[in-house]
Structure 1
Amino acid sequence: MLVKDAIYGEYEVEAVLQDLIQSKPVQRLKGIHQGGASYLVNSKWNVTRYEHSVGVMLLIRRLGGSIEEQIAGLLHDVSHTAFSHVIDFVLEKESEDFHEEIFEEILLQSEVPQILKKHGYSIDMIFKGDFPLLEQPLPLLCADRIDYTLRDLYRYNYITKDEVEAFLPSLYVKDDVICIKGKQHAEWFVQTYYKEVQDFFMDPLNVYGYDKLIKLLKQALGAKVITKDDFLLTDEEVLEKIRQSGEYELNRRYEEIIKPVNLQENEKEYEIHLKGKPRLIDPTVIDSNGIAAASEISSAVKEMNERAKEKALKGSYIKVI
């Protein structure tokens, strides 16, 4: 099976990966938007968890990761609910990890264990395996973090394909740690990452969409129009239940999300204040002087991290005008 990707190009993948890509849990991710409410307020903000999951698999492959780690990369988001991290706010999960809490249960109830067994792999490999390229705690790099940054910002025209292609060869794995060769590439990625988690995530329109969708879903739960189990459907399947409910207030709230709106960042007069967990990045850099954290060799990275931390702790204040 030939897999084509806008970021990494074309790859022929093994039968186990082909079968997993075609499985229901992975195909469902085509209906889960990475940005949660983003696509409702801007139809161009439409990257899906499917694109991201395939991308993570291919990036791990590009970096020399094993088939097992590629499988883990492909499957790492299958338990994401409709609207992705919006549901963490609906369920008031401050750690924003609800999908991780249900990951094992979702996989065990699917056809994934049988697919893996057919090809000589065990589901326990996913639950107990060590996959250092796939996931690392912040502020380190990992395939998950790199892919969603590059994918979103390329799709949304914050960065160019030439910039992506210039950056990718700078990635280097040493002792299972993804590093960046050269301070200049590291500074570019840190700047790009903050375009993602601050300029895009915290764009007033994005914040507005998040706030309105959180309130809509909470009210729909309270009215028993939807249940917590419905979050395992796709985005549009959940919305269709709400649209078909006949509940005037729910439909009014939905229309409020999708209608054009004028917004202003205003810390003194605001209607919406949204604050997520701080997401700071400090990649490991390899250069002629050895290995070090980017912030240790670059004042620019250090300053970007300080500004990002301050902004994240403050959150976003939005006024509807």
Structure 2
Amino acid sequence: MIVDDIYGFFEVEPVLQDLILSKPVQRLKGIHQGGASFLVNKEWNVSRYEHSVGVMLLIRKLGGTLQEQIAGLLHDVSHTAFSHVIDFVLDNESEDFHEEIFEETIMDSEIPSILKHHGFSIEEIMKGDHSLLEQPLPLLCADRIDYTLRDMYRYGYLSKLEIVLFMEKLCVSRGLICIKGTEQAEWFVEAYYKEVLDFFMNPLNVYGYDRLTKLLKEALELDVITLSDFKLTDEEVLQKVRTSNKSSLVARYEGLIKPVKLQENEIEFDIHLKGKPRLIDPTVIIDGKLVEGSNISHKIKEMNTKAKKRAEKGSYIKVL
């Protein structure tokens, strides 16, 4: 029996049970989805494990095959400690390091043997067409929907009733996740930008990313950690930093977790952070036809225009 904060109670097949209990999936309990967020606000604590199980369950609710549910459960197993912080550490502008090491992570684990035992092909799981799980922006996909709903619900921006009403309007048509009617489409676009702009570009979040990136870069330069250590959990990597004999690293860590006063200031700033633009334009069903939300909703079009400008501008933060 699986109990999820958003989707409720589920009985799942033996293959999903075994995969959930596998070391790669269990490790995700120690990987925070927000990267550095939990270090600057302990309540920003959604894990990659919660998200991965959530994606699996959302695909299930939408009628996806068992194979695609498996793919949904496994899609984040290659995320390193601190999630996307690794992309800033490695100056990886495409923010896809976890995708580059996905196959290697899967093949070096017990996952292939678990799948084989239950009659599934690892190649089909890794390379199959999973249209519900992933779609290029600005389309909807289970991954994008779950992390938006999960984070915003956990952090108090969305209510359970709002999510229930939204889920009632979510459906699949021609292999695409769609929303019935403009009202719920507008609601989701607004929620999505609360996630990728208001939350991830929150000054405290930006500060956390900046300071943790600098700490980890120095830890690598001083050989306190190696790149392979990012296959550990967040806490295991931090423990290496805390127990090192490098006073500069310990000072960086202690400075990171201390309360801080910040100000958004484009003139006098200490930090400027720009991430990958993430615009959303959900497919909407109107009178049986599939249309882009921005083509029928001025509100969605306006939100996208503002989001694009804000993402291109980035965040300018002054430490007070």
1:128 matched to which residue of 2?
127
Q: Does 1:236 align with 2:235?
A: yes
Q: 2 CA distance for matches of 1:73 and 1:67? A: 10
Alignment-derived partner of residue 282 in structure 1: 281
- Pairwise mapping of residues 154-233 of structure 1 onto structure 2 (< 5 A)? 154-233=153-232
Matching of residues 68-147 of structure 1 within 5 Å: 68-147=67-146
SS at match of 1:110: coil
Q: How does 1:291-306 map to 2 (within 5 A)?
A: 291-306=290-305
Q: Distance in 2 between matches of 1:290 and 1:61?
A: 24
Decide whether the 8 Å contact of 2:2 with 2:11 is kept in 1.
yes
Contact 2:71 2:126 in 1 (8 A): no
Helix, strand or coil: the match of 2:191?
helix
Moved over 6 A (4+): none
Unpaired segments ≥5 residues, structure 2: none
How far does residue 289 in structure 1 lie from its aligned partner after superposition?
A: 6.5
Return 5+ residue gaps in structure 1 as ranges. Answer: none
Query: How much has 1:142 moved relative to structure 2?
Result: 0.1
Q: What's the CA shift string for 1:94-148, capped at 9, x where partnerless? A: 0000000000000000000000000001111122200000000000000000000
Tell me the SS of whatever aligns to 1:28. helix
**Which residue is equivalent to 2:49?**
50
TM norm structure 2: 0.99
Q: 1:162 Cα shift? A: 0.8
Paired with 2:246 and 2:58, the residues of 1 have a C-alpha distance of 45
Amino acid at match of 2:134: E
Which residue in 1 is equivalent to 2:19? 20
Residue 201 of structure 1, CA deviation: 0.3
Q: Distance in 2 between matches of 1:245 and 1:262?
A: 28
Structure 2 counterpart of 1:257, which letter?
A: L
Map 1:240-251 to 2 at 5 A. Answer: 240-251=239-250
For residues 126 and 290 of structure 1, what CA distance do their matches in structure 2 show? Answer: 31
Classify the secondary structure of the residue corresponding to 1:124.
helix
Q: CA offsets per residue over residues 74-97 of structure 1, 9 Å max, x none?
A: 000000000000000101110000
The match for 1:262 is 261
In 1: Cα distance, 2:162 partner to 2:181 partner: 15
Aligned length, in residue pairs: 320
Is structure 2 residue 267 aligned with structure 1 residue 271? no
- Secondary structure, in 3 states, of the residue corresponding to 1:318? strand
1:31-46 correspondence runs (5 A): 31-46=30-45
Paired AA for residue 225 in structure 1 = V
Q: Structure 1 CA distance, aligned partners of 2:302 and 2:65?
A: 36
Aligned counterparts of 1:257 and 1:73: Cα–Cα separation in 2: 33
In structure 1, distance between residues paired with 2:253 and 2:283: 44
TM-score normalised over the length of structure 1: 0.99
1:150 counterpart residue number: 149
Q: What residue number does 2:314 align with?
A: 315
Secondary structure at the counterpart of residue 131 of structure 1: coil
Residue 64 of structure 2 aligns to a residue whose secondary structure is coil
Task: Give the aligned residue type for 1:120.
Answer: G
Helix, strand or coil for the counterpart of 1:285? Answer: strand
State whether residues 84 and 95 of structure 2, in contact with CA within 8 Å, keep that contact through their aligned partners in structure 1. yes
CA RMSD in angstroms, aligned pairs only = 0.6
Residues of 1 paired with 2:260 and 2:244: CA distance? 25
Paired with 1:222 and 1:246, the residues of 2 have a C-alpha distance of 14
